[in-house]
Amino acid sequence: MPPRPDHPAAPAAERPRVPRFTRAEHRVHRATAALMAVCVLTAGCLYLPFLAELVGRRALMVTVHEWSGILLPVPLLLGLGSRALRTDLTRLNRYGPHDRQWLRAALRRRGGRPAGKFNAGQKLYAAWIAGAVLVMLGTGLLMWFTLPQALGLARPGGTPIAPLVWRTGATFVHDWLALAVVLVIAGHVWKAFGDPESRRGLRTGSVDAQWARREHPLWEHEDNTR
């Protein structure tokens, strides 16, 4: 007799699934990831000599890097029209005692890891990457507009509104934060590849019900108390 659909031995395709992400959320994630990839790749072409020699066309790389960075927040801003996305953003910004328990268990690599729809690690990643993008955008704009004369924003005496020391500081923060962003995103991708069901949920919009109960045991309760 074949196992029941909800039995662990049942084929994955036959087990019950629960909705996790909407199409709008999938598109926001994909568009943001694409823009971030363009930012990282063009930055590599600007800072790594072997890539710079391989690609050439530095002026084009600078332009693509600048505009992909400016456009980076746009998918999320457009996605705010989705009620599901707004609800998930609220979840990502809401912390509880179970999140502290999850972090302690993760650091000790033992013990239960209770989580709602998003675990504490995902919440911290989302908060960190959002803050990093804002800082990168601000420092990038400061580097871009260091010569305000071109925009008609110079003081009467011709001195730029943005002093050179601002550009130096912005460049320092921008470059080192970019390295941190690359490392954090690499860790995010590595964790994603270690969890096929999580990737499948983002790709298809639904996840295996057993996986949801095991990895996010508080999710059902979270939905019932909204």
The two structure tokens encoding residue 174: 């921008």
| Residue 115, burial from CB neighbour count under 10 angstroms (0-12, 13-18, 19+) | buried
Query: What's residue 49's pLDDT?
Result: 80
Q: For the chain, what's the residue count?
A: 226
At CA 128, angle to CA 67 and CA 162, rounded to 5? 50
pLDDT at residue 11, rounded to an integer: 53
Q: Which neighbouring-strand residues pair with 17?
A: 208
Contacts of 62 (CB under 8 A, 6+ apart): 42, 46
Tokens encoding 164: 């050179």
One digit per residue, pLDDT tens: the chain, 226 residues? Answer: 333 444 444 455 567 999 999 999 999 999 999 999 999 999 988 888 888 878 878 888 888 999 999 999 999 999 999 999 999 999 999 999 999 999 999 998 888 899 999 999 999 999 999 999 999 999 988 887 665 444 444 444 445 556 677 788 888 999 999 999 999 999 999 999 999 999 999 999 999 999 999 999 999 887 654 4
Please name every residue paired with 207 in a beta bridge, in sequence order, or none if there are none.
18
Q: Are residues 117 and 198 in contact, defined by beta-carbon separation less than 8 angstroms? A: no
pLDDT, residue 150, reads 42
The pTM of this model reads 0.82
Give the H/E segment covering residue 207.
Answer: strand 206-208
Quick one: pLDDT at residue 165? 78
What is the token pair recorded at 62? 């600078």
Check residue 224 and give its pLDDT.
Answer: 53
